Homo-oligomer: A and B are copies of this chain.
Amino acid sequence: MITPRRINFKGRTPEPVLVVGSVAYDSIITPHATGKRILGGSAAYACLAASYFAPPRIVGVVGHDFLERDRKKLAKRGIDLDGLLTDSTGRTFSWSGRYHENYNRRDTEDLQLNVFEHFKPRLTETHRASPFVMLGNIRPDLQLNVLDQLTSPRFVLADTIDIWIETQRERLAEVMRRADLLVINDTESTKLTGEANVIIAGRKLREHGCRTVIIKKGEHGAVLFHEEGLFTLPAYPVTELRDPTGAGDSFAGALLGYLAATGSTDFAALRQAMIYGTAVASLTVEAFSTDRLAKAGCTEIRARRKALLQMMKA
Contact = CB atoms under 8 A, between A and B. Distances in A.
Interface in A207-245: 217, 219-221, 223, 229-232, 234, 237-239, 241
A102 interface: yes
Contacts of A238: 199
A199 B230 contact: no
Given A229-B310, A313-B271, A314-B271, A219 B234 contact: no
Interface in A182-203: 196-200, 203
A275 B102 CA distance: 29
Contact of A309 (B220, B234, B314): B314
Interface string A89-122: 0000000000001100000000000000000000
Nearest to A224: B311
A98 to B, nearest CB: 17
A197 B239 contact: yes
A92 to B, nearest CB: 33
A33 interface: no
B231 A102 contact: no
A234 B239 CA distance: 20
Contacts of A241: 197
Chain A interface size band reads 20 to 34
Contacts of A86: none
A30 interface: no
A311 B197 contact: no
Given A271-B314, A272-B314, A314-B275, A234 B234 contact: yes
A2 interface: no
Interface in A23-72: none
Contacts of A312: 231-232, 312, 314
Interface in A121-157: none
Contacts of A102: 196-197
A219 B241 CA distance: 23
B237 A234 contact: no
15 contacts: A197-B219, A197-B239, A199-B237, A199-B239, A223-B234, A230-B237, A230-B310, A230-B311, A232-B234, A232-B237, A232-B312, A234-B234, A271-B313, A271-B314, A312-B312
Given A197-B241, A232-B311, A272-B314, 9 more contacts: A102-B197, A198-B219, A199-B239, A203-B239, A220-B220, A220-B221, A229-B310, A271-B313, A275-B314
